[in-house]
Amino acid sequence: MRLFYPYMLILISALSLVNAFTAVKAPAGYLVETVTIPEGITLGVGGLAFDQHGVLYVTTREGQVWRHKGDQWQLFADGMHEVLGIYIDQVSDEVWVMQRPELTKLIDQDGDGRADIYRTVSAEWGLTDNYHEYAFGLVRDQDGNFYGTLNTSLSWAGWAGSSKWDIGRVHDGKMGRAARYRGWSFRVTPQGEFTPWSMGMRSPAGIGMNRHGEIFYTDNQGDWNGSSTLQQITKGRFHGHPSSLMDHPDFQGKDLNAISVEDYRQMRTPPSVFFIHGDLANSPGEPVFDETGGRFGPFEDQIFVGDQTRSNLMRICLEKVQGQYQGAIFNFIDGLQSGVVRNQFDSQGTLYVGQTGRGWRSAGEKIFGLQTVRWDHQTTPVEILAIGLTPEGFELRFTQPMDSQLLASTEQYAIEHWEYLYRPEYGSPKAGKIQAQIEKITLSHGGMRALLHMPLLEGRVYQIQLKGMRAASGGPLTNPMGWYTLNKRRLNERF
Amino acid sequence: MIAPMKSISKNTRWCSLFLLALAVSSLCTPAVAQRVVSVSTLPGKMRFDVDQFTLTPGEKVRLVFTNNDEMLHNLVVIRGDEATSLAVAQRAWAMGAAAAERQFVPDMPDHILHHTKVLEPGQQDSIDLVAPKVEGSYPYLCTLPGHAFSMKGIMLVKANPEPDKLVVKAVDKSEEGSAFVLQPHHHPIIKRAFVENGPPRSVMVGFPGGINFCFDAESCFVSFGWFGPFLDIGPDWGRNANQRGGGPVKVLGERFTTGAGRFPLRIGSKELTPQVHFKGYQVRGEQAPTFEYTVNGAWFMETIEPAEKGIGLKHTFKSDPGLVAPLHFYCDRSQYLVEASAGDWDGNWLTLDPEVATTFTLQIYQEP
């Protein structure tokens, strides 16, 4: 297949270093670069994927799909309705995209580099003209099934400006369900058969799958979501926002307002990880797994995810405790140029970061953009590698040996914990904040691990701050803070 | 005179105290009642609803900020110019984990005069402040990430303010200058978006000659047509930084109807409403688009382009070669001129036998 044609748009673009003139704060060894987007292209990024030839496909909120490699940009598809996800088969290079109204296969039948068939694969979910009814995607399992997520409707007339979407609000929450399957994830088979998959989502702006086929999504803070979350998607799971239950067969004809918040709490599976609203993230996007085989540094199998508002990248490590995933979140890079919503690794282990800030604004002033994060393949950053549980307390692992005197000193740690309340109100305070005390500290692995012996409480988010911690080689931690979502204590097995 | 007025932010009790104070003051010393300046937001627009308010030097006022938006906001009054204002905001965004606890207020005592707490949607906070003695412009802003680019205003301190300009309300101009006209010149253009008074799953098609139509991609028929310019897609794209987009695009010409107002094809029986499923469309350069759908499982392709005369559309159907029952097509012939390439009319129903139904053309139009 010829990739680019003589008449296509060829423009000079260059990777320009941005570290010099914006306030990028990244761990040592990580370099942020900005991809120059040619004049005239509006690239409000909604989806990123590479084909097997290393061509990056960028789908946009404006309804286009651009192909990009080197200095070249080519319009592959146009005229769609807000494309917020894409999947490319790594053998056949077939392209599927998530538009607001449907899952679409894009086919370039005549091979001129421009899609000519827009094949509807599934459009089984309900859609009104409510701006909040986004459709996000797209991941695919080894059997060829696609998975995506569907936003709730903005139903409260006070914000929506009309009562026409005021259907399915529960206990005076702000979001509802003005059409079927709003607030659900779904599966679509290769034959196009649609199955509603899990429910209780609010604003599930990003979906990602790891090498084991496990699917995770991020949800945004708001009603029923005390803070933004990372959650695992499994069939039939209830994630917590009740409006979607209108489309569950067990709740047909039932009054969702007659079910108590406590009963909903019992039904829901708590999130794997809370993002810390305000401190870390206000509206997280796509979680992408580092499966680069070490080409992106020491964080193999961890999740990288950005935030639309704070224009930062974060890092998440997960572990299974009592059968469910939970884990810790850290900040990673601050000061990106626009709101971060999509991430993809290329075959070299460079992370492409797709951005849009329009409508909600972001700390980075640019309205849209594309940046890359590259590891120099040499420098070991000074970071908390992971936080996990042992039956005794937290185990902290570091990317390199730490100053053992500091590491062993309880003075160096400040730990507090709180609860995010599950409730229909918009967001939650950090409720019931408690300062925790470390009983003793055991070091191992030559100062690369510290076990903090302490009693732990379930249903809490722990903030662990390492105030003056330094590596044995002298450098301070770039991100000296981690937050662990402790749904369950570890009883006997090891971290 | 009246109740002491120290600055606190928990307000319910304070409001009642304040009301009491007002009542007392209006009874005893009506001339010195403390002025209240109220600021809220233009919801969804990332703007305060007040661009400027004016105080006299040393004036005591209560500044009440109400967050009627759907995201977090605060209000911070500073000393400095616009550059200082942005610098304060950027310091706030860089505070990291400490930001929320410190209400997104950076440690810049030389510049920060007053601030509310960070307010959840629906919350209110107030500040009792004494205006600076020095006349001048004192910016206020929201320091949540990114908000200060547009959430800003001026607290003007002036000895003799113009009475009619004490509070200058913000005017929402976010729609102004945001038109983005899409107009076909050489070949048809397709745009999917919400459209005013149209179905949510819409495919709009514009032709260089000024005939345009909206295909309902759920019910699989032309919802309406229009004559004139194509579309203003500004509301969908969002043409400025504060627009979320996703709004209904605007049809720029004069609308016309194009037929039955419902899916017009029947297989076998005229009475049975068929099951239709949209399967997508094909676009090839200068050619008109071809829509594809199934009717009771049978595959149909329909190419739609401007009629050869009048104002209307020409539909070229290719139906499933496996079709065995006759095909019926409905059109109200009292309202439209209709030309069919095959079939027999019975009132408003055109019946096509399977052998002629594989390819046929219908032109449905009105005299200009």
Q: Least CB-CB distance to A279: which of B72, B97, B280?
A: B97
User: Could you report the per-residue pLDDT of A305-343, keeping only the tens digit for each?
Assistant: 999 888 999 999 999 999 999 999 999 999 999 999 999
A16, pLDDT greater than 90:
no
Is residue A201 one of the residues assigned to a domain? yes
CA-CA distance, A154 to A166, in Å (whole number)? 8
Mutate which: B40, B150, B201, B301, vs A, most A CBs within 10 A = B201
Chain A residues whose CB is inside 8 A of the B249 CB are none
Q: Identify whether the C-beta of residue B356 lies closer than 8 Å to the C-beta of residue B342.
A: yes
For residue A339, list chain B residues with Cβ-Cβ distance below 8 A: 146
Are B327 and B195 contained in the same domain? yes
B282 contacts A116 by C-beta, under 8 angstroms: yes
Say whether both B140 and B116 belong to one domain. Answer: yes
Q: pLDDT digit string (tens) for B46-69?
A: 899 999 999 999 999 999 999 998
Q: Identify whether residues B107 and B199 lie together within a single domain.
A: no
B100 to A116: CB separation less than 8 angstroms, yes or no: no
Tokens 């759920």, residue located: B218
A361 with B46: Cβ contact below 8 A:
yes
Which residue from B149, B217, B243 is facing A365, i.e. has the nearest CB?
B149
B317: enclosing H helix or E strand = strand B311-319
The CA distance from B98 to A234, in Å, is 35
CB of A63 less than 8 A from some CB of B: yes
Cβ of B280 within 8 Å of Cβ of A118? The answer is yes
B278 vs A276: CB contact, 8 Å cut-off? no
pLDDT tens readout for residues A66-78:
999 999 999 999 9
Q: Which has the closest alpha carbon to A463: A372, A382, A394, A378? A: A394
CB count in 10 Å sphere of residue B231 = 26
Confidence tier at A359 by pLDDT (50, 70, 90)? confident
- Residue A275 corresponds to which tokens in the numbers above? 């993002």
Residue of A nearest to B198 (CA): A129
Q: Which residue of B has its CA nearest to A119?
A: B280
Of the three residues A310, A343, A375, the one that is the final residue of a domain is: A375
Whether A62 sits inside 8 A of B237 (CB atoms) is yes
Has residue A127 got a pLDDT over 50?
A: yes
Q: Is the domain of A277 the same as that of A346? A: yes
Look at residues A460, A417, A411, A458 and name the one whose alpha carbon lies nearest to residue A436.
A417
B154 and B250 share a domain? no
* Co-location of A408 and A295 in the same domain: no
Joined tokens for residue A217: 């999504």
Residues A138 and A190 in one domain: yes
CB < 8 Å to A358, chain B: 238, 241-245
- Give me the CATH number covering residue A419: 2.60.40.1220
Dmax of chain B from CA atoms?
98
B304 Cβ contact list (under 8 Å, min separation 6): B205, B213, B215, B222, B288, B289, B291, B313, B314, B315, B316
Residue A178 has pLDDT above 60, yes or no: yes
Q: Are residues A262 and A392 in the same domain?
A: no
Would you say residue A362 has pLDDT above 90? no
List the single range of A12-26, B32-46, B223-237 with lowest mean pLDDT.
Answer: A12-26
Are B43 and B70 in contact by the 8 Å Cβ rule? The answer is yes
Q: Which of A317, A290, A313 is nearest to A483 (CA)?
A: A317
The answer, for A376 touching chain B at a CB cutoff of 8 Å, is no
pLDDT tens per residue, range A78-102: 999 999 999 999 999 999 999 999 9
By the 8 A CB rule, do B225 and B255 touch?
Answer: yes
Query: What type of residue is A232?
Result: Q
Reported as a single tens digit per residue, the pLDDT across B210-241 is: 899 999 999 999 999 999 889 999 888 887 77
- Could you tell me what percent of chain A has a pLDDT over 90? 88
Q: Are residues A327 and A181 in the same domain?
A: yes
- CA A72 to chain centroid: 28
What range does the domain containing A328 cover?
15-42+127-375
Write the residue in A23, A99, A131 that is nearest to B94 by C-beta.
Answer: A23
Question: How far B131 CA lies from chain A's nearest CA (Å)?
Answer: 30
CA Rg value for chain B: 32
Evaluate whether residue A54 is within a structural domain.
no
Residues B101 and B219 in one domain: no
Are B217 and A427 in contact (CB < 8 Å)? Answer: no
Contact criterion met (CB below 8 Å) for A239 and A231: yes
Within 10 angstroms of residue A90's Cβ, the number of other Cβ atoms is: 11
Contacts of B100 in chain A (CB under 8 A): 276-279
As for how many domains chain B has, the answer is: 2
- Chain A hits for B201, CB-CB cut-off 8 Å, are 101-102, 123, 127
Closest to A398 measured CA to CA, from A408, A409, A385, A407: A385
Q: Specify the DSSP element, H or E, that contains A267.
A: helix A261-267
Q: Are B349 and B368 spatial neighbours (Cβ–Cβ below 8 Å)?
A: no
C-alpha to C-alpha distance for B53 and B164, rounded to whole angstroms: 11
Token readout for B13 is 């009790």
A89 domain-assigned: no
ipTM of this complex: 0.90
pTM of this prediction?
A: 0.85
Whether residues B117 and B152 share a domain: the answer is yes
**Helix-, strand-, coil-residue percentages of chain B, each rounded to 5:** 15, 40, 50
Domain-ending residue, one of A341, A375, A409: A375
Are both B160 and B243 inside the same structural domain? no
Report the SS3 class of residue A405.
helix
Residue of chain A whose Cα is closest to the Cα of B285: A116
The residue in chain B having the minimum alpha-carbon distance to the alpha carbon of residue A356 is B241
- Indicate the Cα dihedral angle A130, A131, A132, A135, nearest 10°: 100
Query: Do residue A169 and residue A308 come from a single domain?
Result: yes
Based on the domain organization, do A311 and A438 belong to the same domain? no
In a domain, A100, yes or no: no
Q: Any idea how long chain A is?
A: 495
Q: Which domain does B297 fall in, by range?
A: 181-366
Domain closes at, from B146, B169, B192: B169
**H or E element in which residue B12 lies:** helix B11-28
pLDDT of B38 > 50? The answer is: yes
The alpha carbon of residue B47 is apart from the nearest alpha carbon of chain A, in Å, by 11
> Is the pLDDT at A22 greater than 90, yes or no?
no
User: Does a cis peptide bond (omega within 30 degrees of 0) precede residue A138?
Assistant: yes
- A-to-B residue pairs, Cβ atoms closer than 8 angstroms: 151
The mean per-residue pLDDT over the stretch B328-350 comes to 95
Side-chain-side CA neighbours of A442 within 13 Å: the count stands at 9
CA distance A286 to A288: 6
Select from A347, A375, A403 the last residue of a domain: A375
Residue B103 lies in a domain: yes
State the CB neighbour count (10 A cutoff) for residue A466.
23
Interface test with chain B among A120, A203, A336, by most B beta carbons within 10 Å: A120
* Domain finish residue from B123, B149, B169: B169
A4–chain B Cβ distance below 8 A for any pair: no
Q: Is residue B101, in this structure, part of any structural domain at all?
A: yes
Instruction: Give pLDDT tens digits for A380-429.
Output: 999 999 999 999 999 999 999 999 999 999 999 999 999 999 999 999 99
> Quick one: tokens of B160?
């003799």
Interface contact A472, partner B, CB < 8 A:
no
Interface test with A, best of B70, B189, B195, B207 (most A CBs within 10 A): B70
Residues 385-424 (A) with a CB less than 8 A from some CB of B: none
Q: Does residue A309 sit at the B interface (CB-CB below 8 Å)?
A: yes
How many domains would you assign to chain A? 2
Give the nearest partner residue to A63 out of B120, B192, B283, using CB atoms. Answer: B192
Q: Taking chain A, what is the end-to-end CA distance rounded to the nearest angstrom?
A: 48
C-alpha–C-alpha distance, residues A283 and A360, integer Å: 10
Cβ–Cβ below 8 Å for A279 and B236 = no
Q: Measured between CA atoms, how close is B364 to chain A, in angstroms? A: 26
Q: SS3 for B355?
A: helix
Range B26-42 burial, b when 16+ CB lie within 10 A, else e: eeeeeeeeeeebebbbb
pLDDT of residue B93: 82
With an 8 Å Cβ cutoff, are B280 and A119 in contact? yes
A23, A278, A279: residue with CB nearest B72: A278
Judge whether A84 is closer than 8 Å to chain B, CB to CB.
no
CA distances from residue A495 to A327, A330, A331, A448, A484 in whole angstroms, order as listed: 11, 18, 22, 15, 14
